[in-house]
Chains A and B, each alone.
Chain A
């Protein structure tokens, strides 16, 4: 119980610090006493709104995987845009759309949320609905309606990283 309390205070302080950093970048206000007041206000906000159960504990390995994940996500976003641009400018739009079902191994709700959002950001896929560990995905160019193979093609790349981060 004691350990849990310390952890939740740590999470709240870090959320407050990030919010203060946002304020600092946004206003370029260097005044230390202003920043202290903002930090206090941010801490009140964090105290009210942050639930610590949803956040995984921060370890160096998770941090490293998160950074790699962000780079991977940016690569996928650029690929997605080139892919969509290629489709849009062709005289006959080459699409073969459908809604397929995939399964995720992730357990934590926030991990699933990030997975669904990442799928939406990547080439030709858009998450429509989620039921338990099944995701329903609109795929602009369906190559496999089989659940197993679709999972490999759409989800596997992200799951590799997210399993470590939220596992």
Chain B
């Protein structure tokens, strides 16, 4: 009994660690698209592990948590894709480190790259 609760707590803790790294990534990344990368990925695994940890801690909640995980897996990529697409359409600049932008080339638009030098 106690071991199961310990296991659940550890899994939830690892999940929150990933959520923290995601937040750190949002602060540290240079442009919107890279922020979106950390924002999607860390929150997905972080949320999944946190919910799973709660489900293992209280076994009677496990089915609910599995349903929540399924919904997060289905909706999380859609929202970040939509945000990235909208950002590209409105011409939010990419960082200076960017090597290619095939989407702008395809639409015959100038590649939106940041102008001022960035302080790293």
Interface residues of A (CB under 8 A from B): 22, 25-26, 28, 77-78, 80-81, 83-85, 87-89, 92-93, 95-101, 116-118, 120-121, 123-124, 126-129, 131, 134, 136, 138, 140, 142, 145
* Contact of B100 with A117 in the complex, beta carbons under 8 Å: no
* Contact of A120 with B81 in the complex, beta carbons under 8 Å: yes
Known: A22-B67, A88-B24, A97-B94. A121 touches B101 (CB 8 A): no
Q: Which residues of A contact B101 (CB under 8 A)?
A: 98-99
* Contact of B41 with A129 in the complex, beta carbons under 8 Å: no
Q: Which residues of A contact B29 (CB under 8 A)?
A: 88, 93, 95
Q: Which of B63-115 contact A (CB under 8 A)?
A: 63-64, 66-67, 73-74, 76-78, 80-81, 84-85, 88, 94-95, 97-104, 106
Please tell me if B57 contacts chain A, counting CB pairs below 8 Å.
no
| Interchain residue pairs A-B with the least CB separation, the first 4 | A25-B63, A120-B77, A98-B100, A101-B102
* Contact of B37 with A136 in the complex, beta carbons under 8 Å: no
Q: Which residues of A contact B21 (CB under 8 A)?
A: 84-85, 88-89
Chain B 12-27 per-residue mask, 1 if CB under 8 angstroms from chain A, else 0: 0000001001101100
* Contact of A81 with B42 in the complex, beta carbons under 8 Å: yes
Known: A81-B45, A98-B100, A121-B44. A138 touches B84 (CB 8 A): yes
Which chain B residue lies CB-closest to A83?
B41
Please tell me if B34 contacts chain A, counting CB pairs below 8 Å.
yes
Please tell me if B60 contacts chain A, counting CB pairs below 8 Å.
yes
Interface residues of B (CB under 8 A from A): 18, 21-22, 24-25, 28-31, 33-34, 36-38, 40-42, 44-46, 48, 60, 63-64, 66-67, 73-74, 76-78, 80-81, 84-85, 88, 94-95, 97-104, 106, 120
Known A-B contacts: A28-B60, A77-B45. Give 18 more (CB < 8 A): A22-B67, A84-B25, A84-B41, A88-B25, A88-B28, A97-B31, A97-B97, A97-B98, A98-B99, A99-B101, A99-B103, A116-B81, A117-B78, A124-B37, A126-B36, A127-B77, A136-B102, A136-B106
Q: Which residues of A contact B94 (CB under 8 A)?
A: 97-99
Docked CA distance A126–B31 (Å): 14
Distance to closest chain A CB from B4 (angstroms): 20
Which chain B residue lies CB-closest to A22?
B67
Docked CA distance A128–B80 (Å): 9
Known: A77-B44, A95-B34, A138-B33. A145 touches B100 (CB 8 A): yes
